[in-house]
Amino acid sequence: MDLERILFSQGFGSRRQCRALVADQRVSIAGSPCINPATEITSDTLSSFEFQVDGTTWRYREKAYLVLNKPPGYECSRDPQHHLSVFHLLPPQLPERGVQCVGRLDQDTTGLLLLSDDGAFVHAFTSPKRKVPKVYLATTRHPLDDAQLSALRNGVLLHGESQPIAAVGAKQRDEHVLELSVLEGKYHQVKRMVAAAGNRVEKLHRERIGGFGLPDDLDEGQWRWLDDADLAMLRQS
Ligand code: URA
């Protein structure tokens, strides 16, 4: 694949903009400016190919898989109504190449958010048919009690649903802290379930999706690429 196509595939703008980046000597390979957009990178070296744009190093990735520790006050939409978008926390190349959220979190929910431009991956983790457990920590307004926990485990009927929805796990971690695991990804699901059980969510944080937990070293607002081990953990879900 030639350098111009590589830059285009990684989200550095239109083909013309990518050619201009190269012509303006803003692209380097192994530290030296590369001024020929037709420079060929052979397919056997492509998967480890690194290049610099304006001094920042990028590795070629056929597909992008990321984890973001979502802060409060960010919407998962590209076109947010009232807050900033989570896409403001990423380099512009990532939304440009089609990276999207793998399911949505409410603007006030924090924690584990996956993003990708791999449609099959997004579908696998958002399809209602593929029941991937998602673990949330909810801080509640009122103290938790056994009746609420049983209601959540046995199923609560949410407005607009024909069947009760049961949590696959509901544990009390503290007087006001509930660990809730759910298989679905319905609109405001955790908040609505907790309300239906007779309490109210004051704060919500997602800790885990399937076998993959929010990395401890990822501060709020930070993102990183998912590596092969992370993807294997997720795919085991
Ligand atoms: N359930 C909710 O109520 N909100 C979220 O952001 C995620 C799950």
pLDDT, position 207: 98
Query: Which residues make Cβ contacts (< 8 Å) with residue 145, sequence separation at least 6?
Result: none
Say if residue 205 is in the same domain as residue 220: no
Best residue among 105, 165, 184 to mutate for probing ligand 1's pocket (most ligand atoms within 8 Å of CB) is: 105
The DSSP output letter for 148 is H
Instruction: Using pLDDT thresholds of 50, 70 and 90, give the confidence band for residue 127.
Output: confident
The two tokens of residue 150 are 């049983």
Q: What is the pLDDT of residue 236?
A: 77
Does residue 70 surpass a pLDDT of 90? Answer: yes
Q: What is the pLDDT of residue 130?
A: 83
Would strands 84-85 and 134-140 be described as parallel, antiparallel, or unpaired? Answer: unpaired
Q: Considering only CA atoms, which of 44, 39, 42 is closest in space to residue 23? A: 39
Do 123 and 225 lie in a common domain?
A: yes
Å from CA of 39 to ligand 1 middle: 47
Range of the domain at 201: 133-209
pLDDT in tens, 206-237: 999 999 999 999 999 999 999 999 999 998 76
From the CA of 76, how far away is ligand 1's center (Å)? 12
Q: Which of 190, 230, 194, 224 is nearest to 212 (CA)?
A: 230
pLDDT tens digits for range 137-150: 999 999 999 999 99
Mean of all residue pLDDT scores within the chain: 95
Average confidence (pLDDT) over 52-79: 96
pLDDT attached to residue 228: 92
Pair 76, 38 in one domain: no
Q: Is 196 in the pocket of ligand 1 (CB under 6 A)?
A: no
Are both 109 and 219 inside the same structural domain?
yes
The position carrying tokens 């793998």 is 102
**Catalytic: 227?**
no
Q: Is the CB of 109 under 6 A from ligand 1?
A: yes
Secondary structure element (H or E) that encloses residue 189, with its range? helix 189-196
Q: Which atom of ligand 1 is nearest to the CA of 109?
A: 6
Name the residue among 46, 76, 42, 43 with its Cα closest to residue 60: 46
69 and 103 together in one domain: yes
Q: Residue 231 Cα, ligand 1 centroid: separation in angstroms?
A: 23
Q: To test the ligand 1 pocket, which listed residue (76, 109, 114, 137) has its Cβ within 8 A of the most ligand atoms?
A: 109
Domain final position from 15, 31, 59: 59
Mean pLDDT of 110-136: 93
CA of 62 to the centre of ligand 1 (A): 31
Q: What is the CATH number of the domain that holds 20?
A: 3.10.290.10
CB 7 within 8 A of CB 21: yes
Q: Is the CB of 112 under 6 A from ligand 1?
A: no
**Helix ranges, 97-177 (H):** 119-126, 146-154
Question: Apex CA 40: angle with CA 37 and CA 41, to 5°?
Answer: 120
Catalytic pick from 106, 108, 118, 145? 106
Question: How far is the C-alpha of 170 from the C-alpha of 152, rounded, in Å?
Answer: 7
